[in-house]
Amino acid sequence: MINNIAEIKDDILMSIKDIESVEQLQTIRVKYLGRSGILTNLLKDLKNVNPQDRPLYGKLLNDTQRFIEQNIDTVMEKLLSRDKLLREKSESIDVSFSKITAKRGALHPLTKVKNEIINIFIGLGFSVEEGPEIEYTKYNFELLNIAADHPARAFADSFYITNDIMLRTQTSGIQARVMEKQTPPIKIVCPGKVYRPDADATHSPMFQQIEGLYVDKSVSLADLKYTLELFAKEFFDKDTKVRFRPSYFPFTEPSVEVDLSCAMCHGKGCFLCKNTGWLELLGAGVVNPIVLENCGIDSTVYSGYAFGIGIERATMVKYGIPDMRLLFENDIRMLEQFK
């Protein structure tokens, strides 16, 4: 029996030496100290031992029981503290870890300016009309009194798809389409992309326009000036002045170039206005009666005015941008300034 007990001590030390989990250790505890455990059974057998030997064996078994408990407890503590560490490590938050952030988007400056211009005219009673970017020459030219021998019709000045289908060079085709199907009063703005084969610091093969048209009884150049002044004061500031210079467009008669007092230098002269104090912003005029008649509107009853603003030009003037190409490069450093 003494040999047995010595073996039990060796066995227990061997089996807990490489133990990996609390569960395995519990199994060993049950194997030795459980209700039918090896040591429990030896203790039960004590009553069969010779009475004079019984105290010695009893003491030996009790010592062994304590030995097993102590060893199991020591290993148990190690396993529990190891598990706690692992748990803490997996649940911990590294506060020094750099934050992953999504950059917030913003509208492109051209879109912002376009929306701003549209909203000003909506406030003045205009509605918004759109039309096709691939247009018949009839709407882009003929109905607008641009004759076949007009310089703008030379093939080099437009992108043609067939002889009578082209990328529109202006949004005026929308005006012709609306006048054709609607009786006055007509009060519309037509925003959209237009295409011309030009490319330099102030021209791009694709740019955006917003054209306005107001046709009703007794609409005059004075109405045009009043409307554009209201627009300019709203778009720039309330001190902005408007100047008309005589010009020529086939679809308006009389025609004017509209200049606004420079928003940057207030007329003193700067790089933006090329030291003139004035910014050329748009072309306008009273709708040529021929155009009204071409579109089925009686020019003896109705008259109208029309104007066209370049969105890129308006954006450059408003924000003092010297080169139009900056607006198309999509350099994030430039775009972020308009957030």
The residues of the shown chain that bind Zn ion, judged by CB under 5 A, are: 262, 264-265, 270, 272-273
Angle between helices 311-319 and 109-123 (to 10 degrees): 100
- Side-chain-side CA neighbours of 226 within 13 Å: the count stands at 8
For Zn ion, the closer of residues 238 and 333 by Cβ is 238
Cβ at position 225, least distance to Zn ion in Å: 22
For Zn ion, the closer of residues 34 and 277 by Cβ is 277
For Zn ion, the closer of residues 264 and 326 by Cβ is 264
For Zn ion, the closer of residues 265 and 335 by Cβ is 265
Cα of 38 vs its chain's centroid, Å:
74
Cβ at position 260, least distance to Zn ion in Å: 10
Among the listed residues 77, 63, 49, the one whose alpha carbon sits nearest the alpha carbon of residue 8: 63
Q: Are 287 and 172 in contact (CB under 8 A)?
A: no
For Zn ion, the closer of residues 143 and 263 by Cβ is 263
The span from the CA of 232 to the CA of 229, in Å, is 5
The span from the CA of 187 to the CA of 46, in Å, is 114
For Zn ion, the closer of residues 260 and 286 by Cβ is 260
Cβ at position 315, least distance to Zn ion in Å: 16
Q: Are 191 and 126 in contact (CB under 8 A)?
A: no
Starting at the edge strand found earlier in the chain, the sheet holding 278-287 runs 127-128, 186-195, 206-216, 303-310, 278-287, 252-261, 242-249
For Zn ion, the closer of residues 38 and 265 by Cβ is 265
Cβ at position 269, least distance to Zn ion in Å: 6
Cβ at position 165, least distance to Zn ion in Å: 42
Cβ at position 262, least distance to Zn ion in Å: 3
Is residue 138 packed enough to be buried (19+ CB in 10 Å), middle (13-18) or exposed (0-12)?
middle
DSSP result, 35-63: TT-HHHHHHHGGGGS-TTTHHHHHHHHHH
Report the residue closest to Zn ion, judged by CB: 262
Is residue 66 packed enough to be buried (19+ CB in 10 Å), middle (13-18) or exposed (0-12)?
exposed
Cβ at position 124, least distance to Zn ion in Å: 26
